[in-house]
Structure 1
Amino acid sequence: MTAQDPATAPADGPQRRPGGRSTRVRETVHAAVLDAIAEHGVDHVGIPDISRRAGVRDSSIYRRWGTRENLVLDALLAYSERLLPTPDTGTLHGDFTALATELAAYLATPLGQGLARALAYNTDTDASGAARNAFWSTRFRATAPILTRAATRGELAPDADARLALELLIAPIHFRAMLTREPADAEFIDRLATSVCRALSFGS
């Protein structure tokens, strides 16, 4: 009889809800990936090291994520989703400024730089595409209350496009982080927030 993989074998005792153990394994592996990136940078993350850190067989990691790149992208997207908040400053310009400031600060960290590189260079697969799409869908939904509150205050039309607003705001920050390597400082972010408000006819 072949022994079951510890990452997939059922736990002793009462049965947990479906997906409970799988979720715990995913969180443990993600934490190991984030620790490895913080210590060595995204380019030096390896599945054998992640397996050792997480206490999960490397065969289980390959079976679930397929490649190192998929694993890194999934871990970074999950972390970023939890990290980046939805601000509520009382004005649309203030919310855009706060959101852009948080993003710029994150992209300046080793984990944020790792996410930018992973998004730019990861080869598209079904797994990586699903992780990326889930992340951006979550970010668009999280941003929607900013526009809803702004419409209630009369700063923009009720049918404003939340996805377009977010894309206009974050694209220049990612551009600077990934391509020009220019800082996204407070002056730049203020001008960016003002420009996005005007471009979407929200007023600033």
Structure 2
Amino acid sequence: MTIAEGHGRRPGGRSARVRAAVRAATLSELAEKGYTALTVEGVAARSGVHKTTVYRRWGGVEGLIADALEMASEEPWPIPDTGSVEDDLRALARLVVTGFTDPDEGPVSTAFIAAAMQNSAAAVALRRFFASRHDQAAPIVTRAVARGELPPGTDPVEVVRAAVAPIYYRLFVSREPVDAAVADRAAGAALAAARAGAL
């Protein structure tokens, strides 16, 4: 999950290599230590980039988190296209569950949420990340409307939100376990609401 190059930098070359190395180090540090133990010094040591460079370019831990989220928002998401909105929403919800239960991806995903709860810059970056994910997932709903599976005017982003929100509630509010059955129920509830015209 990460942030755009911008600031007039040319893509590619040493700047891109430095950014990629720092981003990889940030993700590794998050996976191993979590957000509260993330430091510029740790990222610099792991990436091989001098900490002065990291401070100058990213400013601190908040900038590292924001950049990692920005880069992730630019990456494609494997959106399902099964030919059925029911199966697509189920697969999407299961994809979210996997992102938090996978032993490699899960700690990083959880660390990003924790960072957003504690830091305003990370919160803004996380909102952008989710907006990108919602936009990428929107074709699930627009295809369903075109096939006549959902009513015209159904809001794609609201359907996607409804399909994944119960998963995040369990993960970060009630702290209950999540699995494929939870994903399927969340997707089913979102689909029922969409079919009823509530979304």
Same fold (TM over 0.5): yes
**157, 173, 177: which is aligned to 1:179?**
173
The alpha-carbon deviation at position 116 of structure 1 amounts to 2.0
**117, 129, 135: which is aligned to 1:135?**
129
Q: Which runs of 5+ in 2 are unaligned?
A: 1-8
1:112 alignment counterpart: 109
Seq. identity, %: 37
The alpha-carbon deviation at position 76 of structure 1 amounts to 4.5
Query: Whose Rg is larger?
Result: 1
- Partner SS state of residue 27, structure 1: helix
Q: Distance in 1 between matches of 2:107 and 2:70?
A: 14
Q: Taking structure 2 as the reference length, what is the TM-score of the superposition? A: 0.80
Q: Distance in 1 between matches of 2:55 and 2:169?
A: 32
Q: Which runs of 5+ in 1 are unaligned?
A: 1-16
Kept after mapping to 1: 8 A contact 2:26/2:68: yes
Q: Distance in 2 between matches of 1:119 and 1:130?
A: 8
- Partner SS state of residue 31, structure 2: helix
CA RMSD between the two structures: 2.4
- Partner SS state of residue 180, structure 1: coil
Counterparts in 2 of 1:139 and 1:202: CA distance versus 1, 3 Å:
farther
Counterparts in 2 of 1:165 and 1:112: CA distance versus 1, 3 Å:
same
1:168 alignment counterpart: 162
* More contact order relative to length (CA 8 Å, sep ≥ 6): 2
Q: Distance in 1 between matches of 2:89 and 2:82?
A: 9
1:18 alignment counterpart: 10
Q: Distance in 1 between matches of 2:123 and 2:109?
A: 19
The alpha-carbon deviation at position 97 of structure 1 amounts to 1.0
Q: Distance in 1 between matches of 2:161 and 2:52?
A: 38
Q: Taking structure 1 as the reference length, what is the TM-score of the superposition? A: 0.78
AA aligned opposite 1:103: V
Counterparts in 2 of 1:157 and 1:59: CA distance versus 1, 3 Å:
farther
Kept after mapping to 1: 8 A contact 2:86/2:187: yes
